[in-house]
Protein backbone atom coordinates (compact mmCIF):
# COMPACT_ATOMS: atom_id res chain seq x y z
CA UNK A 1 0.00 0.00 0.00
CA UNK A 2 1.41 3.41 -0.98
CA UNK A 3 1.07 6.42 1.29
CA UNK A 4 -0.20 9.45 -0.62
CA UNK A 5 0.23 13.16 0.17
CA UNK A 6 -2.79 15.45 0.31
CA UNK A 7 -1.53 19.04 0.18
CA UNK A 8 -3.97 21.50 1.61
CA UNK A 9 -1.40 24.22 2.20
CA UNK A 10 -3.75 27.08 1.39
CA UNK A 11 -5.53 26.23 4.67
CA UNK A 12 -2.72 27.54 6.90
CA UNK A 13 -3.54 31.16 6.08
CA UNK A 14 -7.22 30.49 6.79
CA UNK A 15 -6.42 28.82 10.12
CA UNK A 16 -4.35 31.84 11.18
CA UNK A 17 -7.17 34.19 10.13
CA UNK A 18 -5.29 35.68 7.16
CA UNK A 19 -6.73 36.48 3.76
CA UNK A 20 -6.52 33.42 1.51
CA UNK A 21 -5.11 33.93 -1.99
CA UNK A 22 -5.81 30.42 -3.25
CA UNK A 23 -4.51 30.53 -6.78
CA UNK A 24 -1.40 32.46 -5.86
CA UNK A 25 -0.42 30.01 -3.10
CA UNK A 26 -1.21 26.98 -5.24
CA UNK A 27 0.82 28.47 -8.09
CA UNK A 28 3.90 28.93 -5.89
CA UNK A 29 3.45 25.45 -4.42
CA UNK A 30 3.06 23.97 -7.88
CA UNK A 31 6.36 25.52 -9.06
CA UNK A 32 8.10 24.33 -5.90
CA UNK A 33 6.75 20.80 -6.30
CA UNK A 34 7.86 20.66 -9.93
CA UNK A 35 11.37 21.84 -9.07
CA UNK A 36 11.68 19.40 -6.18
CA UNK A 37 10.19 16.39 -7.93
CA UNK A 38 12.92 15.40 -10.29
CA UNK A 39 12.71 17.92 -13.09
CA UNK A 40 15.83 19.51 -11.67
CA UNK A 41 18.13 19.10 -14.58
CA UNK A 42 20.04 16.20 -16.00
CA UNK A 43 23.08 16.27 -13.72
CA UNK A 44 24.09 12.92 -12.31
CA UNK A 45 24.13 12.00 -8.64
CA UNK A 46 21.54 12.03 -5.89
CA UNK A 47 18.53 14.32 -6.03
CA UNK A 48 20.38 16.54 -3.53
CA UNK A 49 23.43 16.77 -5.79
CA UNK A 50 21.16 17.59 -8.73
CA UNK A 51 19.39 20.30 -6.70
CA UNK A 52 22.74 21.84 -5.73
CA UNK A 53 23.96 21.85 -9.34
CA UNK A 54 20.63 22.98 -10.83
CA UNK A 55 21.34 26.70 -10.71
CA UNK A 56 17.95 27.25 -9.06
CA UNK A 57 17.86 29.62 -6.10
CA UNK A 58 17.34 28.56 -2.49
CA UNK A 59 13.76 29.86 -2.45
CA UNK A 60 12.76 27.61 -5.36
CA UNK A 61 14.62 24.55 -4.02
CA UNK A 62 13.55 25.08 -0.39
CA UNK A 63 17.10 25.23 0.95
CA UNK A 64 16.69 26.95 4.30
CA UNK A 65 20.35 27.22 5.35
CA UNK A 66 23.80 26.98 3.76
CA UNK A 67 26.97 26.51 5.75
CA UNK A 68 30.51 26.01 4.52
CA UNK A 69 30.25 22.21 4.13
CA UNK A 70 26.61 21.32 4.90
CA UNK A 71 23.16 22.67 4.14
CA UNK A 72 19.56 22.22 5.31
CA UNK A 73 16.66 21.64 2.92
CA UNK A 74 12.98 20.91 3.35
CA UNK A 75 11.86 17.40 2.55
CA UNK A 76 9.82 17.65 -0.68
CA UNK A 77 7.60 14.82 0.59
CA UNK A 78 7.42 15.60 4.33
CA UNK A 79 5.99 13.51 7.12
CA UNK A 80 4.85 16.77 8.73
CA UNK A 81 5.06 20.50 8.01
CA UNK A 82 8.57 21.59 8.96
CA UNK A 83 10.27 18.28 8.07
CA UNK A 84 13.77 19.14 6.93
CA UNK A 85 17.07 17.42 6.32
CA UNK A 86 20.67 18.43 7.06
CA UNK A 87 23.37 17.01 4.81
CA UNK A 88 26.87 17.60 3.50
CA UNK A 89 27.35 19.16 0.08
CA UNK A 90 29.64 16.23 -0.69
CA UNK A 91 27.70 13.15 -1.79
CA UNK A 92 28.75 10.46 0.67
CA UNK A 93 26.79 7.55 2.09
CA UNK A 94 28.46 6.83 5.44
CA UNK A 95 28.96 8.80 8.65
CA UNK A 96 32.55 7.61 8.84
CA UNK A 97 33.26 9.23 5.45
CA UNK A 98 32.64 12.72 6.85
CA UNK A 99 35.73 14.83 7.51
CA UNK A 100 36.13 16.13 11.05
CA UNK A 101 35.05 19.59 9.88
CA UNK A 102 31.98 18.22 8.06
CA UNK A 103 30.99 16.14 11.08
CA UNK A 104 31.29 19.10 13.46
CA UNK A 105 29.30 21.37 11.15
CA UNK A 106 26.69 18.69 10.43
CA UNK A 107 25.84 18.19 14.11
CA UNK A 108 25.94 21.93 14.88
CA UNK A 109 23.56 22.49 11.96
CA UNK A 110 21.24 19.70 13.17
CA UNK A 111 21.12 21.49 16.53
CA UNK A 112 20.33 24.79 14.78
CA UNK A 113 17.66 23.07 12.67
CA UNK A 114 16.00 21.72 15.83
CA UNK A 115 16.04 25.22 17.35
CA UNK A 116 14.63 26.78 14.17
CA UNK A 117 11.80 24.23 13.86
CA UNK A 118 10.94 24.64 17.56
CA UNK A 119 10.68 28.41 17.05
CA UNK A 120 8.94 28.35 13.67
CA UNK A 121 6.40 25.57 14.23
CA UNK A 122 6.21 25.07 18.01
CA UNK A 123 5.92 21.26 17.89
CA UNK A 124 5.23 19.16 20.98
CA UNK A 125 8.27 17.01 20.17
CA UNK A 126 10.76 16.22 17.39
CA UNK A 127 12.21 13.14 15.75
CA UNK A 128 15.85 13.42 14.66
CA UNK A 129 17.32 10.50 12.78
CA UNK A 130 19.37 8.98 10.01
CA UNK A 131 18.61 5.97 7.82
CA UNK A 132 22.01 4.52 6.87
CA UNK A 133 21.58 2.28 3.83
CA UNK A 134 18.59 1.24 1.76
CA UNK A 135 17.70 -1.64 4.10
CA UNK A 136 17.41 0.85 6.97
CA UNK A 137 14.80 2.82 5.06
CA UNK A 138 17.15 5.27 3.38
CA UNK A 139 15.37 6.24 0.17
CA UNK A 140 18.39 8.31 -0.95
CA UNK A 141 21.03 6.23 0.78
CA UNK A 142 23.90 7.40 -1.44
CA UNK A 143 23.74 10.91 0.10
CA UNK A 144 23.88 10.99 3.91
CA UNK A 145 21.16 13.16 5.43
CA UNK A 146 19.78 13.75 8.93
CA UNK A 147 16.01 14.16 9.25
CA UNK A 148 14.48 16.69 11.65
CA UNK A 149 10.74 16.04 11.91
CA UNK A 150 8.40 18.06 14.15
CA UNK A 151 5.67 16.08 15.92
CA UNK A 152 2.46 17.09 17.67
CA UNK A 153 0.15 15.27 20.04
CA UNK A 154 -2.40 13.52 17.83
CA UNK A 155 -0.60 14.35 14.57
CA UNK A 156 -1.65 11.02 13.09
CA UNK A 157 -5.31 11.12 12.21
CA UNK A 158 -7.88 9.05 10.36
CA UNK A 159 -6.54 10.11 6.93
CA UNK A 160 -3.27 8.23 7.52
CA UNK A 161 -4.91 5.10 8.90
CA UNK A 162 -8.04 4.97 6.72
CA UNK A 163 -7.02 6.63 3.44
CA UNK A 164 -3.26 6.00 3.70
CA UNK A 165 -2.80 9.74 3.05
CA UNK A 166 -1.11 12.51 5.03
CA UNK A 167 -2.62 15.96 5.22
CA UNK A 168 -0.13 18.81 5.24
CA UNK A 169 -1.67 22.18 6.10
CA UNK A 170 1.18 24.41 4.89
CA UNK A 171 2.83 24.85 1.47
CA UNK A 172 6.59 24.22 1.33
CA UNK A 173 7.34 27.80 0.31
CA UNK A 174 5.66 29.06 3.50
CA UNK A 175 7.36 26.43 5.68
CA UNK A 176 10.76 27.38 4.26
CA UNK A 177 10.19 31.08 4.92
CA UNK A 178 9.14 30.42 8.52
CA UNK A 179 12.18 28.22 9.19
CA UNK A 180 14.61 30.69 7.53
CA UNK A 181 13.20 33.49 9.72
CA UNK A 182 13.67 31.34 12.84
CA UNK A 183 17.17 30.05 11.99
CA UNK A 184 19.72 30.87 14.72
CA UNK A 185 22.17 33.51 13.59
CA UNK A 186 25.18 32.08 15.43
CA UNK A 187 26.07 29.75 12.53
CA UNK A 188 26.00 32.58 10.01
CA UNK A 189 23.01 31.43 7.97
CA UNK A 190 22.86 32.82 4.48
Residue 145 annotated to the active site: yes
Question: Distances from the Cα of 17 to the Cαs of 23, 132, 169, 177, in angstroms?
Answer: 18, 42, 14, 18
Q: Catalytic one among 83, 143, 145, 147?
A: 145
Handedness of CA 118, 123, 128, 131 (dihedral sign): negative
Tell how strand 84-88 and strand 70-74 pair up: antiparallel
177: how many CB neighbours lie within 10 A of its CB? 15
Contacts of 19 (CB under 8 A, 6+ apart): 13
Compute and round to an integer the Cα radius of gyration of the chain: 16
Closest CA to 172 of 8, 3, 17: 8
33: how many CB neighbours lie within 10 A of its CB? 17
Dihedral angle of Cα 66, 107, 125, 132, to the nearest 10 degrees: 100
* Phi/psi at 54 (5° precision): -75, -25
Q: Catalytic amino acids?
A: 145
Amino acid sequence: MTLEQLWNGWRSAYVRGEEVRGEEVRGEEGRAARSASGTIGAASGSVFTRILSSGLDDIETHIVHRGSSVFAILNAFPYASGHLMVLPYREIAHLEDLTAAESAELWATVTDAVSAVKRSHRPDALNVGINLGASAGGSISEHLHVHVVPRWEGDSNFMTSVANTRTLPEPLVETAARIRDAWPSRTGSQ
